[in-house]
């Protein structure tokens, strides 16, 4: 890639356009924190420039530039509509600089809430995986009950897990444990069903190969059937993970005392829409981050599939 | 009492499909001597692979017996190394790990630390040195079968069971693999040769490799004839196929293979 190609991209022009927009006089009656917006944009631009000289693959650089370009356009339009021309209700629509400023102001509270949300999700999710995977392996492998288990799983996984919340509140001592319980249920059934369908789908030739090597029963389950059905298991895990976030944030909005869902609900009740929007964006980033890491793990464990 | 390594006597196997039982093998009897290379050939559906599944211990016969070293065969066992047509190797293990796993299962005396060394040694023998950390999906079909052979040999079993190992390989590579197997099995004469039962539908493959060829006839699978292969070892394909004897022998096998079809055509039984 030539230097010209690398540095003269439309993204950088969009960055400059965003800065020029900030020179326009503010019309909003509220504080707009133009400084925070500029600091954020400059920071992003530095990261983009730095990364684009490090990333080897051209597609990687283009992707990064396109995403940054989208962010600049969004921020530009947003600040025009709010701070600069004040065409939107400035109570409901805070200026972008204000949201960025709010994020830095509240960062420790936000971090605590993220940790709380993630802690609950991870607990419920791991608990479900640890129970569902071995159980799915055992039941899927014992062909006699396998068929019945498929129907039973279909029934239980058709119940939207959120309806367990009221009953969970009656059963369990803290709202935290109710959240863990609901995430457990939401993850358990798809992972269990995925594991079973994985086991039932293992090629007979692979099982024969293992049998002629005289593998023991635990080895058959955990060194042969488990890796052979791993892709289906991950399918179930992915499903469980995405439902978990929906459930968790919903549960947090119903009755929690912390977590990202609580943050959003709490401040929107007060009409603090700057914090509400901040919370929404943070949840987006957290979910994307977790999904990204989980996909990394999946690709790593399934790297033997071409 | 003969001193055959494997003794198959009156073996009968019934398959149950759609609640109807049909006779896959009927009264099959033959012996495989110690260190002998025996091929089983026959048209598809003659039960040759079923016969091998019985020897592998994956299938229980309805009648008759299989004895190894005079002892009745029960289930699978690591005194028999197996190479299948597909999926002999676990796709989630590297070729080296696959071989190490095989060694772990069959040779309890080998220490964990030595397994990798033995694995690499056998990978080199089959021409796969440097491919130890590749996954099976990263190898061609021919290379996968090389690795499967390396594992079977590394397991150091006295018996080797091979179920159409080269049938899914293209013609050119198949020849290369046949010669590799021949070379590895014939060895340099210092080690005792393994007892091999090799299932194939390729007549030339069977002639090149075997001491003895068992010709099966279909519906139900019965032994048509057991033929001794008259060619001296070590064998060289190029020289062998040029001789008149080879052509005659090949024709004889062909007529045995298709005799049942010919008979049925003679009796107006076949609708083609």
Q: From CA B111, how far away is CA B115, in angstroms rounded?
A: 7
Residues in A touching B84 (Cβ below 8 Å):
205, 208-209
Q: From CA A304, how far away is CA B135, in angstroms rounded?
A: 6
Domain range summary for chain B, segments of one domain joined by +: 1-76+199-272
Question: What's residue A61's pLDDT?
Answer: 87
* Domains of chain A from N-terminus onward: 3-99 (no CATH), 107-301 (1.10.3720.10)
- Helix, strand, coil percentages, rounded to 5, for chain B: 40, 25, 35
Question: What's residue A171's pLDDT?
Answer: 93
Q: Which residues of chain A have pLDDT under 50?
A: none
- Give the model's confidence band at B270: pLDDT under 50 very low, under 70 low, under 90 confident, else very high: very low
Q: From CA A183, how far away is CA A176, in angstroms rounded?
A: 11
Mean pLDDT across B88-110: 95
Question: What's residue A142's pLDDT?
Answer: 85
Complex prediction ipTM: 0.89
What percent of chain B has pLDDT above 90? Answer: 70
Task: Report whether B29 contacts B223 (CB < 8 A).
Answer: yes
pTM of the model: 0.86
CATH number of the B1-76+199-272 domain: 3.40.50.300
The span from the first CA to the last CA of chain A, in angstroms, equals 29
pLDDT at B164 over 60: yes
- With CA atoms as reference, report the closest residue to A274 among A108, A144, A128, A82: A82
pLDDT at B260 over 80: no
Q: Residue A27 is encoded by which pair of tokens? A: 């019309």
Strands lying side by side in the sheet with B6-17: B20-32, B6-17, B63-68, B71-72
Is B84 within 8 Å of A208 when comparing Cβ atoms?
yes
Question: What's residue B262's pLDDT?
Answer: 58
CB proximity B105 to A under 8 Å: yes
pLDDT at B60 over 80: yes
At B4-47, the pLDDT tens digits run 999 999 999 988 777 777 788 999 999 999 999 999 998 877 88
Question: What's residue A110's pLDDT?
Answer: 96
Task: Report whether B224 contacts B260 (CB < 8 A).
Answer: yes
Question: What's residue B272's pLDDT?
Answer: 41
Residues in A touching B96 (Cβ below 8 Å):
none
Is B90 within 8 Å of A230 when comparing Cβ atoms?
no
**Closest Cβ opposite residue A213 in set B78, B91, B138:** B78
């Amino acid at each position: 890639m030539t230097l010209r190609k690398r540095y003269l991209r439309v993204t950088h022009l969009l960055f400059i356009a965003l800065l020029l927009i900030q020179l326009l006089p503010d019309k909003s009656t509220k504080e707009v924190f133009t400084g925070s917006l500029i600091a954020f944009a400059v920071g992003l631009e530095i990261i983009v420039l730095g990364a684009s000289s490090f990333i080897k693959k051209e597609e990687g650089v283009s992707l990064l530039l396109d995403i940054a370009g989208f962010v600049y356009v969004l921020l530009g339009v947003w600040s025009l509509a709010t701070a600069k021309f004040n065409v939107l209700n400035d109570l409901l629509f805070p200026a972008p600089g204000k949201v960025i400023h709010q994020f830095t102001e509240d960062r420790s509270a936000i971090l605590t809430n993220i940790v709380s949300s993630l802690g609950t999700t991870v607990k419920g999710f791991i608990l479900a995986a640890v129970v569902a995977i071995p159980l799915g392996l055992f039941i899927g492998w014992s062909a006699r009950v396998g068929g019945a288990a498929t129907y039973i799983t279909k029934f239980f996984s058709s119940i939207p897990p959120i309806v367990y919340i009221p009953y969970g509140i009656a059963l369990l001592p803290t709202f935290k444990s109710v959240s863990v319980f609901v995430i457990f249920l939401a993850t358990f059934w798809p992972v269990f069903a995925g594991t079973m369908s994985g086991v039932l789908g293992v090629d007979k030739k692979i099982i024969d190969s293992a049998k002629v090597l005289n593998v023991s029963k635990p080895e058959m389950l955990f060194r042969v059937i488990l890796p052979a059905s791993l892709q289906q298991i991950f399918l179930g895990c992915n499903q469980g993970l995405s439902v978990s976030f929906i459930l968790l944030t919903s549960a947090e909005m119903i009755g929690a005392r912390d977590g990202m869902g609580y943050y959003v609900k709490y401040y929107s009740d007060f009409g603090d829409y700057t914090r509400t929007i901040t919370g929404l964006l943070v949840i987006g980033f957290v979910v994307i981050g977790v999904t990204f890491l989980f996909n990394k793990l999946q690709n790593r464990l399934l790297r033997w599939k071409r | 009492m003969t001193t055959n390594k494997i003794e198959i006597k009156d073996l009968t196997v019934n398959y149950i499909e759609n609640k109807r039982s049909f006779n896959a093998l009927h009264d099959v009897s033959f012996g495989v001597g110690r260190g002998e290379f025996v091929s089983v050939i026959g048209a598809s559906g003659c039960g040759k692979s079923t016969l091998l599944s019985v020897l592998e211990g994956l299938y229980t016969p309805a009648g008759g017996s299989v004895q190894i070293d005079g002892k009745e065969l029960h289930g699978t066992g690591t005194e028999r190394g197996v190479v299948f047509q597909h999926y002999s190797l676990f796709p989630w293990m590297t070729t080296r790990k696959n071989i190490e796993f095989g060694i772990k299962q069959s040779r309890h005396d080998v220490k964990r630390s030595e397994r990798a060394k033995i694995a690499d040694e056998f990978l080199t023998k089959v021409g796969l040195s440097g491919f130890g950390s590749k996954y099976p999906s990263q190898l061609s079909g021919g290379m996968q079968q090389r690795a499967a052979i390396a594992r079977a040999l590394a397991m150091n079993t006295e018996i080797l069971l091979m179920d159409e190992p080269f049938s899914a390989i293209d013609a050119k590579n198949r020849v290369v693999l046949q010669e590799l197997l021949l070379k590895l099995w014939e060895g340099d004469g210092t080690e005792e040769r393994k007892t091999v039962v090799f299932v194939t539908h390729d007549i030339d493959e069977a002639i090149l490799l075997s001491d003895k060829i068992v010709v099966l006839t279909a519906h139900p699978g019965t032994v048509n004839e057991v033929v001794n292969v008259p060619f001296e070892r070590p064998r060289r394909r190029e020289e062998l196929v040029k001789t008149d004897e080879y052509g005659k022998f090949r024709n004889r096998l062909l007529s045995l293979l298709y005799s049942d079809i010919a008979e049925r055509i003679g009796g107006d039984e076949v609708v083609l």
